[in-house]
Amino acid sequence: MKKIKADLPTSETLELKLHAIMKSGLPDFVKTTNARRIAVRASIRFTIVSVLFILAIVVFLFLAQIDLNTFLGKVITMTALLWVTVLLISGKGWFIGSTLLAREINMALVPILANVMNRTLLYTYNENAVDSVAELINDSSLLQDDVQNLKVKNVYTVFSDFDMRVHEVEFDQTTNGPGSKVVKAHATFIDVNVAGEHTAATVLTSNGSRFGFSQQGLVERIQKNDSFHSIEMEDKKLKAFSTDPAIGNSFLTPEVLQIMGDWKSHSRVNIRVMRREAKLYILVPAGEQSTAYTSTSTKPDAIERYASVIAKPIWRALMLAEEVNT
């Protein structure tokens, strides 16, 4: 199979190809999700009407100063309660419909992304994968603490010369420094089965970012583990540790470091990679695009931006995995 770098050497090339495919395939994309969009719009309208009707009743009661103990007051109160029930039901329908629409949009994007990458992709929404994904994240040692309250949302499986699974995850993370607190973290976690056995455990991480995970917390955790040793890096924006530096250096090739450096400079987030045995783990904080996987917009530009946010981590992870897999 032709390497992804040969087809899509730069992010500009990726964006141009995505734009061309989205432009030609957008009518089919909108048609695929049309029925669900209509249902969601109907729920939204009905919810808005319900809210306005309840507000009108409240204003009427206030202005008319109607005694709630009278027959008329009781009738109006019962009507208001009835519409509150209607509002709750329609609001629930809106929430469920929006959730299903978001999943349908992700499914409709699969052939577009597959065409861009020239790879077969499979999309699933699997909340039951929490235990297995949590085990993989903990095995990767790419968080400063073991993962807590993990939620696994969208999962993309990419079929290439190796198996690659891209998970959109959400979990609790404790912030560093004084006044630390627990915050919700959003990230893309990727696990790849690559060829060969890397008998050491090697971690490569980029430096701190405008947003995303702090490098400091991860470095402190690794340094507490006596089995890891620091590897001197020419690029001071990158840090590397390995249980066997000699074996670790065989993973830290100029090509791998170039991909990591480009990824960091373009995304401005703290990219983390772990190579262990036949596994390659990648953790990318969502940063400014923490809600990127729940878009329900019908606007062409918004859909294309949404597809780009999904495509870029997959594309860069493919580049990195193909380099490691050679």
One DSSP character per residue, 133-168 reads: HHHHHHHHT-SSS--EEEEEEEEEEEESSSEEEEEE
Q: What integer pLDDT is reported at residue 27 of this predicted model?
A: 53
- Helices then strands (H, E): number in the chain? 9, 7
Spell out a b/e string for 47-59, using b for 16 or more CB atoms within 10 Å of the CB, else e.
beebeebbeebee
Q: What integer pLDDT is reported at residue 303 of this predicted model?
A: 77
Q: What integer pLDDT is reported at residue 179 of this predicted model?
A: 60
Please state the domain extents for the chain: 4-9+120-325, 34-100
Q: What integer pLDDT is reported at residue 67 of this predicted model?
A: 60
Name the residue among 244, 245, 241 with its Cα closest to residue 219: 241
Q: How far apart are CA 179 and CA 279, in angstroms?
A: 36
Query: Is the pTM here over 0.75, yes or no?
Result: yes
Q: How far apart are CA 128 and CA 208, in angstroms?
A: 33
Q: What integer pLDDT is reported at residue 90 of this predicted model?
A: 55
Q: What integer pLDDT is reported at residue 210 of this predicted model?
A: 52
The tokens of 43 are what?
A: 């729920």
Q: How far apart are CA 131 and CA 147, in angstroms?
A: 11
pLDDT < 70 regions, the chain: 25-68, 72-73, 76-77, 79-103, 126-127, 174-180, 208-214, 287-300, 326
For residues 84, 85, 86, 87, the Cα torsion angle rounded to the nearest 10 degrees is: 50
Segment 126-182, tens digit of pLDDT: 667 788 898 999 889 898 777 888 888 788 999 988 889 999 888 887 666 556 677
